[in-house]
Amino acid sequence: MIKLTNVSKSFETKKGTVHAIDDVSLEVAKGEFFGVIGYSGAGKSTLIRCVNLLESPTTGSVFIKDQDVTNVPAEELLQVRRKIGMIFQGFNLLKTATVYDNIAIPLKLTDVDKQELD
């Protein structure tokens, strides 16, 4: 389960404050798949980066499996991220690799044993 509660993210720029996302609350139940769509500049990437905490929300909380992960230590956050499946807009597949090989690369880097990988 992924739950966002009143998540906002603002950035300071030379032109002033940009409110990329403003007071977003949503819940994705186990087994559900969601896509985030919208116009360019609408805050889609910022929202997703807040889900996996590549961006820290300015306000609000992010829950993964009922655990507030908004302020967890970096090492624990790494373990949390490993359990979140997502596809980035620029997913950078290796053109010379098979589908299997492209999926296997990050799993090998996290020491998944060969039998489980297969």
Across 73-86, average pLDDT:
80
pLDDT tier at 88, thresholds 50, 70, 90:
low
Across 109-115, average pLDDT:
85
pLDDT digits (tens, 9 = 90+) for 36-57: 888 988 999 899 889 988 899 9
Residue entry with tokens 């690369």: 105
pLDDT digits (tens, 9 = 90+) for 53-68: 889 999 999 998 888 9
Residue 23 sits at φ, ψ, to 5 deg, of: 55, 55
CATH topology of domain 2-72: Rossmann fold (3.40.50)
Q: What is the pTM of this model?
A: 0.72
pLDDT value at 86 more than 80: no
Across 96-107, average pLDDT:
86
Residue 50 sits at φ, ψ, to 5 deg, of: -75, -30
What does the domain layout of the chain look like in residue ranges?
Answer: 2-72
Report the distance separating Cα 48 and Cα 66, nearest Å: 18
